[in-house]
Structure 1
Amino acid sequence: MKSEVPSKSLEWSNLVLGAGFICAAYMFGGLPVVAWNAGITGTLMVCCSAVALTRYGAWAEWSNLLLGCWAAVAPFLLGFGSAPVAMWTHVLLGLCVATIAAIQLFAGRQTDKPSGTRLKPGE
């Protein structure tokens, strides 16, 4: 496991997006399911990103990838897809977090490969 973050700016971006989810929880206070989902999801995103900033691990990126995917589909699974602002907030922020986490995972794999080494077919 590598302890260096592939891109700290991307990790900071996920932390800020997670904080945006926490702020959205207060904005959607009139919709309890939306507020709880945004608050819990955002808090978990912030925690994973903060830990990854101090000690990088692929588990933190996988967690953010799953949390971002959850946020994107939650409006439809939890039944608040009819509230357009809440739905689009979750979908857009969730897709951003998931995309950044996927980029981080890809970058982490690229830095783990030794330079100048070719893989044989089937490896």
Structure 2
Amino acid sequence: MGKQHWQDWINGLLGLWIFGSPWLLSHSMVTEVPVAGGILGMWNLSVVGLAVVVICAIALYRFNTLAEWINLLSGAWLVVSPLALGFSASAALTWNSVVSGSLIVIFAGWCLYDARNSRL
């Protein structure tokens, strides 16, 4: 096992939340506002959430900066995806995506910062 960062554990939990949030929020993106991107938004959250969980598991097993960069980009995608995919009419899903994505960006960036400073 490589060096573990506690931030990867938090990002893994955020990934689980993102993965399950379409169902845990009672399908609010589909039923709250009938938007064309609702189903696409559900799939987006599920796929990105699962990807974050898998990448975090890889980073916890063997840390490398590529995993953190992928998580950072996944988080950034979550921030812009409500507008890009057209499910921004659902306030619950938009806030869920933006806040969760922002936290993933922060924690992945923190890991990258720690890794960079530990080499100096």
Band of TM-score, shorter chain:
0.7 to 0.9
Structure 1 stretches of 4+ with a deviation exceeding 6 A read none
Q: Higher Cα Rg: structure 1 or 2?
A: 1
Counterpart of 2:3?
A: 4
Amino acid in the other structure paired with 1:88: W
Report what 1:19 is aligned to.
16
Displacement of 1:41 in angstroms is 0.4
1:120 aligns with none
Q: Deviations over 1:77-97 (max 9, x none)?
A: 111111100100000000000
**Structure 2 residue aligned with 1:35, among 25, 38, 42?**
42
Instruction: Report how far residue 25 of structure 1 moved.
Output: 2.8
RMSD: 1.2
What runs of 5+ residues in structure 1 fail to find an aligned partner?
A: 114-123
Matched residues, percent identical?
28
The residue that corresponds to 1:119 in the other structure is none
**How many aligned residue pairs are there?**
109
Letter paired with 2:16: A
Q: Specify the alignment match of 1:53 in structure 2.
A: 60
Taking the aligned partners of 2:22 and 2:58, their CA distance within structure 1 comes to 22
TM normalised by structure 1 equals 0.84
Query: Secondary structure, in 3 states, of the residue corresponding to 1:80?
Result: coil
Q: 1:103 aligns with which of 101, 110, 116?
A: 110
User: What is the one-letter code of the residue matched to 1:41?
Assistant: V
Structure with the greater relative contact order (CA < 8 A, sep ≥ 6): 1 or 2? 2
Unaligned runs of 5+ in 2: 31-37
Where 2:87 maps in the other structure, the secondary structure is coil
